[in-house]
Amino acid sequence: MTAPGLRPAERTARICGAELHHWVYRAELAEDARRTVLMVHGLRGTHHGLELIAGRLADRCVVIPDLPGFGASEPMVGHRHDVPGYAAVVAELMERLGGRERPLVLLGHSFGSVVAAHVASCAPELVHRLVLVNPLATPALRGPRVVLSGLTSAYYALGKALPPRWGHSLLANKLVVFAASRAMTRTKDKQLRRFIDDSHLKHFSSFHSPALLSETFEASVTRTVADYADALRMRTLLIAGETDEIAPIGGQRALAARLPNAELVVIPEVGHLVHYETPGAAAEAIQRFLGAP
């Protein structure tokens, strides 16, 4: 399901004590920083999840790191694995890509949207435009999802409390990962559904430790993009899934109304996996947004 001929260059950088692995797509286009898009994946994700969108941004250089402690990247040293910690890594990577001289486009999905919003609020000089896909706009521990969020918190807390080997087995349990994948999937295309399931089974459990994952999960349910809304002055694109239960559409509309320079695109019949289920529609919206004056 990846774009044909897409061969990113894997690179590493030592940031916040971690060897950060990141992948550069179409490196030959990197000289124009404003045509460079840095993407930040969500909780338990890796760079693989955002490749379907990256493959469709044909005239852009795209950079996607594995956040510290996930995928191929090491955990940070001296920083918590929370929103400010990850934001420090992303901001440093943006600087190394030339963002201070020529601001970059910053994109975040789900938990990555909160990290991106933190970066954009603290270092707006690095961000040319901001793109938030399935952004977390409402707190998970309040409202209609409070019971499910509480059970999920207990699940991660138990994984952390167990001996590391047992905790990892619990949190990486294939049945749980499969159930989570299916709960977020809306497509009726059996081939696409299998691809999403296989991708989650392959990459969803590539986290460093139960303690690190629990720390990151707690950050994901206590911070939202709305916490930074008053500081987000740059042009911003919100891409929402019409039936997203993790980031409900009502919260997206309220967030868009708070931002002074925002556009909201709602993709019908899709939930929290816009980057997997409708990457073409997402990429089209991004290209139009970035091409507008």
The pairing of strands 236-241 and 127-133 is: parallel
CA torsion through residues 121, 266, 245, 248, sign:
positive
Instruction: Say if pTM beats, i.e. exceeds, 0.75.
Output: yes
- The answer to whether 184 touches 152, Cβ cutoff 8 Å, is no
Q: Given this structure, which CATH class describes domain 9-140+222-291?
A: alpha beta
- Look at residues 266, 287, 288 and name the one whose alpha carbon lies nearest to residue 278: 266
Q: Which two tokens stand for residue 41?
A: 């994946």
Mean pLDDT over the full length of the chain: 91
pLDDT at residue 293 in the model: 55
DSSP characters over 140-195: TTSSTTHHHHHHHHHHHHHHHHS-HHHHHHHHT-HHHHHHHHHHH-----HHHHHH
pLDDT tens readout for residues 190-203:
999 999 999 999 99
Question: How far is residue 244 from each of residues 110, 183, 220, measured CA to CA in Å?
Answer: 11, 10, 16
Q: Which of 167-187 are b and which e, b meaning 16 or more Cβ less than 10 Å from the residue's Cβ?
A: bbebbbeeeebeeebeebbbb
- CA separation for the pair 49, 113 (Å, rounded): 14
| Predicted confidence (pLDDT) per residue in 60-89, tens digit | 999 999 999 999 999 999 999 999 999 999
* Residue 273 pLDDT exceeds 60: yes
In this predicted model, which residue has the larger pLDDT, 5 or 165? 165
Cβ-count burial of 77 within 10 angstroms (0-12 exposed, 13-18 middle, 19+ buried)? Answer: exposed
Tell me how far apart the alpha carbons of residues 261 and 246 are, in angstroms, rounded to a whole number: 24
Q: Which amino acid is at 100?
A: R
- What digits encode the pLDDT tens for the residues 225-249? 999 999 999 999 999 999 998 999 9
The domain limits of the chain are 9-140+222-291, 146-210
Rounded percentage of the chain residues whose pLDDT exceeds 70: 93
**pLDDT surpasses 90 at 112:** yes
